[in-house]
């Protein structure tokens, strides 16, 4: 039978997900999770694009929410997501500071490649530490900061003492996004329980 991991640590049989009771589909873990993502994801998008615009990046928040589930979807995953992604963002910030402030024009694009190669080493070598053991979280944080900085042409803001600093934006977005993931899991559990009682 096919299995789908709708919630971490709880593989579900496909026929259970599609179980119908008295002519209607019951609320499965997958459906509960989908509804939870839809509701809270929409709220997050509104907040990040509205009241928190300039202080949070909607897409980084969604990466952090997804990372929370990939890391296990529990309180340990919340810590690993926040710590790992912020750590990765700091390593990327250091890499970009080096690239921007220590030019080696004779090497061309080889110089940034060397800096990236050296700094990404530190995303993995720390994995023996419990809070940094989710290497994807470390990588997502690195990629998020570099992606935003380069796409927004914000190399000059790397040391800005305000919310234009890519590190500030990434850290705030990671924290809020990881909490979003946690809340999505909590709401999904509530929806599933209520649906089970009603059926």
Residue 180, domain extent: 3-198
Q: What is the mean pLDDT of residues 17-41?
A: 71
Q: What is the mean pLDDT of residues 42-46?
A: 98
SS3 of 98-160: HHHHCCCHHHCCHHHHHHHHHHHHHHHCCCCCHHHCCHHHHHHHHHHHHHHHHHCCCHHHCCC
Q: In sequence order, what are the beta bridge partners of 7? A: 10
Confidence (pLDDT) at 79: 97
User: Which region, left, alpha or beta, applies to residue 54 given φ > 0 means left and ψ of -120 to 50 means alpha?
Assistant: left
Q: pLDDT confidence of 142, banded at 50, 70, 90?
A: very high
- Domains held by the chain: number: 1
For residues 107 and 155, give the distance between their C-alpha atoms in angstroms, rounded to a whole number.
20
Q: What is the mean pLDDT of residues 119-147?
A: 97
The model's pLDDT over 6-20, given as tens digits with 9 standing for 90+, comes to: 444 554 443 444 444
Q: pTM of the predicted model, to two decimals? A: 0.84
Q: pLDDT confidence of 25, banded at 50, 70, 90?
A: very low
Task: Answer whether 93's CB lies under 8 Å from 167's CB.
Answer: yes
- 3 state DSSP class of 13: strand
Q: Mean pLDDT over all residues of the chain?
A: 88
The model's pLDDT over 49-70, given as tens digits with 9 standing for 90+, comes to: 999 999 999 999 999 999 999 9
The model's pLDDT over 74-130, given as tens digits with 9 standing for 90+, comes to: 999 999 999 999 999 999 999 999 999 998 999 999 999 999 999 999 999 999 999
Q: What is the mean pLDDT of residues 171-189?
A: 97
Confidence (pLDDT) at 194: 75
């Amino acid at each position: 039978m096919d299995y789908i991991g709708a919630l971490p640590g709880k593989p579900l049989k496909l026929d259970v997900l599609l179980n119908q009771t008295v002519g209607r589909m019951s609320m499965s873990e997958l459906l509960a999770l989908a509804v939870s993502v839809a509701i809270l994801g929409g709220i997050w998008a509104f907040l990040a694009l509205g009241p928190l615009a300039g202080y949070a990046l909607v897409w980084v928040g969604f990466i952090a929410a997804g990372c929370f589930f990939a890391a296990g979807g529990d309180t340990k995953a919340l810590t690993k997501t926040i710590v790992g992604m912020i750590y990765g963002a700091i390593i990327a910030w250091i890499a970009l500071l080096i690239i921007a402030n220590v030019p080696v024009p004779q090497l061309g694009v080889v110089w940034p490649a060397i800096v990236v190669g050296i700094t990404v080493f530190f995303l993995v070598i720390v994995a023996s530490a419990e809070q940094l053991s989710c290497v994807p979280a470390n990588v997502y944080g690195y990629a998020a900061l570099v992606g935003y900085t380069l796409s927004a042409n914000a190399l000059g803001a790397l040391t800005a003492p305000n919310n234009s600093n890519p590190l500030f934006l990434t850290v705030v977005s990671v924290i809020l996004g990881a909490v979003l993931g946690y809340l999505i899991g909590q709401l999904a559990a509530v929806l599933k329980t209520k649906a089970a009682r009603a059926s």
